[in-house]
């Protein structure tokens, strides 16, 4: 080339865009030149004469890398540009956009709300948003998990107690109702509340007053109650209809993660980047296979499970996303009933069995397995490590 050689062109291209994949082709290359080019950021180095199919294959891989780079940058820009409720409830799916609109609408109404959702869908986060975008945001948001407090303590936890009301009550204690005065009380897992306590909560909501345990003088309270349940309270056995109607002025249903597939990469990127920043480590870029695995997994634990997986991915560079989502014990060879597994786990189970069958047929001959399955050596090695397959077991 007139004016500059390939290495200089590589340097100029890297100045314009450090993430741009550059393939160098030369007719007078040597090992030192190839090493220098790769150290300086070249995607690949090909000597003439070359096999056209190899060049096409390398170009396709470079284009895929570029596409993933641009997709990752888009995800980062979307996360960085979010503010307000979009920064709290991350997602672009129709289901999450509808939820955001409903939250803002109900927040302004100042009515009691029931939030329905599976475990891990973010019911407390939604309750916080209802509080923060309401006229009560300057007062306290007080959460209580009704299923986590022992039955003999929950009345005192909710309504408070006077000194001497029971053994160990050395001084007066303010309960959650009184502490949430002028603010919002969030009652999670309200379906686990006993019928006797339901009666007392109903009375407190009707009268706007609570009576501490061991006390005789009621205390006025002005608060909004947001309740959350994993089950439909209308059909929940043992849940009082009158309390249901008192709480069910407005209702929100939180979509499980499997119903908002397009949000999964955004959420994973957000939590992984957050963990990497907190622990001062560099975040690996996602591959297309990573994104396919994310969106092919069923996420039974919803956003809570996704957050844990994202943190593990960010902090343990030795684990691939497939290792985290589909650990080897999930796809034991010969499993006859895979119907209970997610699509991704069933695909992985099938892939593992195909590799094992090929190794058996060729008595552990890797070259023959590579030819039969049309897999590069590196890819086959990665899959054998992933599925804990040892070639020696088949020789």
Domain ranges, ordered by start, for the chain: 6-81, 93-255, 257-319, 326-395
Domains 6-81 and 93-255 share a fold: yes
* Cis amide leading into 49 (omega within 30): yes
Q: Evaluate whether 395 touches 364 at the Cβ level (below 8 Å).
A: yes
Residue 45's pLDDT is what?
77
What average pLDDT score do residues 45-53 get? 81
pLDDT band at 15 (very low <50, low <70, confident <90, very high): confident
Percentage helix, strand, coil, to 5, in the chain? Answer: 55, 10, 35
**Which tens digit of pLDDT belongs to each residue from 70-92?**
766 666 665 554 557 888 898 88
CATH (one of 3.40.50.2300, 3.40.50.10810, 3.40.630.40, 3.60.20.10) for 6-81: 3.40.50.2300
Instruction: Please name which of 226, 276, 388, 376 lies closest in space to residue 322, comparing C-alpha atoms.
Output: 388
149 HSE (CA, 13 A, CB side): 19
**Which tens digit of pLDDT belongs to each residue from 291-316?**
888 888 889 899 999 999 999 999 88
What global pTM score does this model have? 0.64
Q: Inform me whether the pLDDT recorded for 101 exceeds 70.
A: yes
Q: What CATH topology corresponds to 257-319?
A: Helicase, Ruva Protein; domain 3 (1.10.8)
What average pLDDT score do residues 343-352 get? 74
Please give the CATH number for the structural domain made up of 93-255. 3.40.50.300
d(CA 391, CA 227): 56
Q: For the chain, how far is it from start to end, CA to CA, in angstroms?
A: 53
**Which tens digit of pLDDT belongs to each residue from 270-285?**
999 999 999 888 888 8
Q: Helix 151-159 crosses helix 195-207 at what angle (to 10 degrees)?
A: 10
Least confident of 43-52, 108-117, 128-137, 165-174: 165-174
Q: Inform me whether the pLDDT recorded for 369 exceeds 90.
A: no
């Amino acid at each position: 080339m007139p004016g500059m050689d390939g290495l200089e062109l590589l340097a100029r291209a890297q100045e314009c865009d450090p993430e741009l994949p550059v393939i160098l082709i030369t007719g007078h290359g040597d090992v030192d030149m190839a090493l220098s080019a790769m150290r300086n950021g070249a995607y690949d180095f090909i000597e003439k004469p070359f096999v056209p199919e190899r060049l096409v294959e390398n170009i396709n891989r470079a284009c895929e890398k570029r596409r993933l780079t641009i997709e990752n940058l888009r995800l980062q820009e979307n996360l960085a540009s979010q503010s307000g409720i979009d920064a709290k409830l991350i997602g672009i799916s129709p289901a999450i956009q509808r939820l955001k609109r409903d939250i803002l609408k109900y927040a302004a109404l100042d009515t009691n709300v029931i939030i329905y959702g599976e475990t891990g869908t973010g019911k407390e986060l939604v309750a916080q948003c209802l509080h923060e975008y309401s006229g009560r945001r300057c007062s306290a948001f007080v959460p209580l998990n009704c299923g986590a407090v022992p039955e003999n303590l929950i009345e005192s936890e909710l309504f408070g107690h006077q000194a001497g009301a029971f053994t160990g009550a050395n001084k007066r204690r303010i309960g959650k109702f009184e502490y949430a005065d002028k603010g919002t009380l969030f009652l999670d897992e309200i379906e686990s509340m006993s019928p006797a306590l339901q009666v007392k909560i109903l009375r407190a909501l009707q009268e706007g007053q609570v009576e501490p345990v061991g006390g005789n003088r009621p205390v006025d309270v002005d608060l909004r109650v947001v309740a959350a349940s994993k089950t439909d309270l209308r059909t929940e056995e043992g849940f009082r209809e009158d309390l249901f109607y008192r709480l069910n002025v407005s209702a929100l249903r939180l979509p499980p993660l499997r119903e908002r597939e397009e949000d999964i990469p955004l959420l994973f990127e957000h939590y992984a980047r957050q963990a990497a920043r907190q622990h001062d480590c560099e975040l690996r870029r996602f591959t297309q296979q990573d994104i396919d695995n994310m969106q092919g997994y069923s996420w039974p634990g919803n956003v809570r499970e996704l957050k844990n997986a994202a943190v593990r991915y960010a902090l343990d560079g030795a684990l691939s996303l497939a290792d985290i989502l589909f650990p080897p014990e999930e796809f034991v060879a010969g499993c006859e009933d895979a119907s209970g597994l997610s699509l991704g786990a069933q695909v992985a189970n099938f892939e593992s069995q195909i590799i094992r069958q090929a190794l058996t047929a060729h008595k552990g001959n890797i070259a023959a397995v590579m030819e039969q399955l049309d897999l590069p050596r590196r890819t086959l090695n990665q899959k054998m490590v992933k599925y804990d397959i040892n070639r020696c077991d088949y020789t």
